[in-house]
Structure 1
């Protein structure tokens, strides 16, 4: 059977779906990942069939237009929606339809708006893949990216309906696309139902990190994390190997694909914070072609696979994206999260609640002094280190991809039967 997998967003959004495609292909099925074209080398490098879909969100966020819209200027926001986001979304819908030809099932990230519409047009099952619990309402906690603290049961549930209405500005465009490209009228069902039943939601995280809330329905499944298998062993640059061998394990610091960062200012602050904490450090800058020293004890690197790097660290410091958080927890290392937006505060709260990291430091409050204090807590607390190691062992014992594939095949088989 052919499975088409739709994913869009940043690296943390797309990477789990690369792993799922590997799992479905390993089970003897055809799996095609449709994602922004910038992810093609990454997907194909992991042996995954790829179809480009839409434009690059990360590039939009880093563009002058995207930064102006994120800055809260309502006029700029409307301009970006009309001139950039709407054409991007329409192209994503068209590309998804091309990728879906011949598919026997559709699996999609919640941001990939085409998913349920393609399943309706093709008459096939569909599944939502969710690296973050933003889809299924619960009274246990508010929708990540909506608010940073619990509002109480009823209000917590309401936040999910606000998130679910996020596609409303695109409804007219989607209806026009359904009519002209899919030959369908306006959708009669909600976006989270298909054939009169809730769309199954496969949550790509560990139940040891976010236990399934008691009020979730059977269609909400927690599988464990979806980590891709490397197609080949990664060879670190000699400068990184030499740095790691030259002293005790350093602290990793990296802030991912967040936009609007003063990179030079962040570099200076990190060097000062690590010096205050008395720790060596590896700073992932996302720029440059080779490792370069920032000081005698801090090495800047363009990047490195987290599954290779993090187990060699004493602790990890990052922005709190879902993918980076997963990698740090799986490595069994204490985690310091400096959140800025969307689901990052949620993961910062989870890490602190589990006792595997200090309280998160919001990005706007981040200083060398605060970061140094958090690093000292993460690297100097034996009980925190023990809890982090135990959590990492539990996560690594799961096989989230296998669980997801088994759930998908079971449900597809039941519908076919």
Structure 2
């Protein structure tokens, strides 16, 4: 038995998968704590894990809304970098407090890993990186935050190396301050990253090769182990109002944007209702950070608004899912065997949207910005019709779901922990 600390930061999709990993480790006899933002304390405790606080909660700080208009060009990029660096520095200020003296192993998300490596060094304990997205350079594809467009093998790899340098710069101030706080000798973020890479410690990626086959040019210690699914109780059921709605007619379309599009709920709700009506489909709107609601679609009895429910329970009972293509929601839709209408907003979302389309389980992506265009209702309605009326798309989704069902990502993490002697 080992005292294991998992650290994860960011949106719901950045945190929830680690509840499933933690529950699997706890079932194997380990003591498991999950350090994350206060917003997710209930999620962590419901999974039977100890909750520990991390600062920089994105639900409470949100200096501006995701998906809203930002300054274009270099000015917008600089503003985005400043916000990210401030988030990381605040996170670094709290990560040391999350580790108890008896912590025997650190499991680190992509956001927390560049900080957690220094904590592991100071505490002289092992760690494992558990990212949800591919981050190491490869010739197979460009960095996931670059929009999913290939630059050729040489260009993809060069862009991947550049992406790592950008990350080093983001973590530079936090690294300096954290190492001073921990009593470690000075080291740049880049030097610390290279030292971690040279150590050859396994990195386990929590996504499926159904979507992203493991690149052959990755170093041997980089593994793709399958998705980690958010924990939910075995006896969980959908709320009665959802069950009643599902029973009242044909399978509906799910529409939700997760932690994206904050404050844009009125416009998006009206757009979604109009597109569903034009496609002659029923719909379930998940409120999310955008605040989607049927209040903006009076008289539309074929619409229902919901809060947070397990995607694993709802998605298999839908005709299709419309979402922003965060890594977790992308995997959940694929697991359910239903077609997707991808509406990517930012970061890694265009990458996952393109992957779904290439598998034949999704329509062509509709960039979120295009939902502000005059023809947005027609375009979304057309995509909904294509997603729900094409049997080939449903067939490909069913095949992908069967392949995902054979994977055990959390079990692979448990095996890696046991190999470390934990």
Q: TM-score, normalised by structure 1?
A: 0.90
Which whole-Å CA distance do the structure 2 matches of 1:78 and 1:24 have between them?
Answer: 40
Q: Which residue of structure 2 lines up, in the alignment, with residue 231 of structure 1? A: 233
Q: Which residue of structure 2 lines up, in the alignment, with residue 152 of structure 1? A: 152
Deviates more, 1:291-300 or 1:375-384: 291-300
Of 302, 326, 334, 1:321 maps to 326
Does the CA contact (< 8 Å) of 2:323 and 2:329 recur in 1?
yes
How far off its partner does 1:256 sit? 1.0
Q: How many residues align?
A: 409
Does the CA contact (< 8 Å) of 1:205 and 1:226 recur in 2?
yes
Q: Which residue of structure 1 lines up, in the alignment, with residue 217 of structure 2? A: 215
Q: Which residue of structure 2 lines up, in the alignment, with residue 377 of structure 1? A: 386
Does the CA contact (< 8 Å) of 1:332 and 1:389 recur in 2?
yes
Deviates more, 1:372-381 or 1:193-202: 193-202
Taking a change above 3 Å as real, the CA distance of residues 195 and 123 of structure 1, as seen in their structure-2 partners, is farther
Q: Which residue of structure 1 lines up, in the alignment, with residue 29 of structure 2? A: 28
How far off its partner does 1:309 sit? 0.7
How far off its partner does 1:97 sit? 1.3
Which whole-Å CA distance do the structure 1 matches of 2:378 and 2:252 have between them?
Answer: 18
Where in structure 2 are there 5+ consecutive unaligned residues? none
Of 414, 418, 422, 1:409 maps to 418
How far off its partner does 1:26 sit? 1.6
Taking a change above 3 Å as real, the CA distance of residues 30 and 88 of structure 1, as seen in their structure-2 partners, is same
Does the CA contact (< 8 Å) of 1:320 and 1:348 recur in 2?
yes
Q: Which residue of structure 2 lines up, in the alignment, with residue 250 of structure 1? A: 252
Q: Which residue of structure 1 lines up, in the alignment, with residue 307 of structure 2? A: 302
Q: Following superposition of structure 1 onto structure 2, how do residues 1-20 of structure 1 map, counting pairs within 5 Å? A: 1-20=2-21
Q: Which residue of structure 2 lines up, in the alignment, with residue 206 of structure 1? A: 208
How far off its partner does 1:85 sit? 6.1
How far off its partner does 1:174 sit? 2.0
How far off its partner does 1:127 sit? 1.6
- Helix, strand or coil for the counterpart of 1:221? strand
Q: CA RMSD in A?
A: 2.7
Which whole-Å CA distance do the structure 2 matches of 1:68 and 1:378 have between them?
Answer: 27
Where in structure 1 are there 5+ consecutive unaligned residues? none
How far off its partner does 1:18 sit? 1.4
Does the CA contact (< 8 Å) of 1:240 and 1:291 recur in 2?
no
Check if 1:104 corresponds to 2:104: yes
Deviates more, 1:95-104 or 1:69-78: 69-78
Deviates more, 1:164-173 or 1:42-51: 164-173
Does the CA contact (< 8 Å) of 1:239 and 1:291 recur in 2?
no
Q: Structure 1, residues 85-139: CA drift from partner, whole Å, max 9, x if none?
A: 6665344224221222322221111211321111111222222111111x21110
Of 374, 391, 394, 2:403 maps to 394
Which whole-Å CA distance do the structure 2 matches of 1:147 and 1:140 have between them?
Answer: 14
- Helix, strand or coil for the counterpart of 2:130? strand
Taking a change above 3 Å as real, the CA distance of residues 67 and 209 of structure 1, as seen in their structure-2 partners, is closer
Does the CA contact (< 8 Å) of 1:143 and 1:160 recur in 2?
yes
Which whole-Å CA distance do the structure 2 matches of 1:344 and 1:225 have between them?
Answer: 16
Does the CA contact (< 8 Å) of 2:81 and 2:170 recur in 1?
no
How far off its partner does 1:80 sit? 8.8
- Helix, strand or coil for the counterpart of 2:416? helix
Taking a change above 3 Å as real, the CA distance of residues 257 and 211 of structure 1, as seen in their structure-2 partners, is same
Q: Which residue of structure 1 lines up, in the alignment, with residue 361 of structure 2? A: 356
Which whole-Å CA distance do the structure 1 matches of 2:216 and 2:85 have between them?
Answer: 38
Q: Following superposition of structure 1 onto structure 2, how do residues 125-204 of structure 1 map, counting pairs within 5 Å? A: 125-133=126-134, 135-165=135-165, 166-179=167-180, 181-187=181-187, 189-194=191-196, 196-204=198-206
How far off its partner does 1:178 sit? 1.0
Which whole-Å CA distance do the structure 2 matches of 1:227 and 1:291 have between them?
Answer: 29
Deviates more, 1:345-354 or 1:397-406: 397-406
Q: TM-score, normalised by structure 2?
A: 0.89
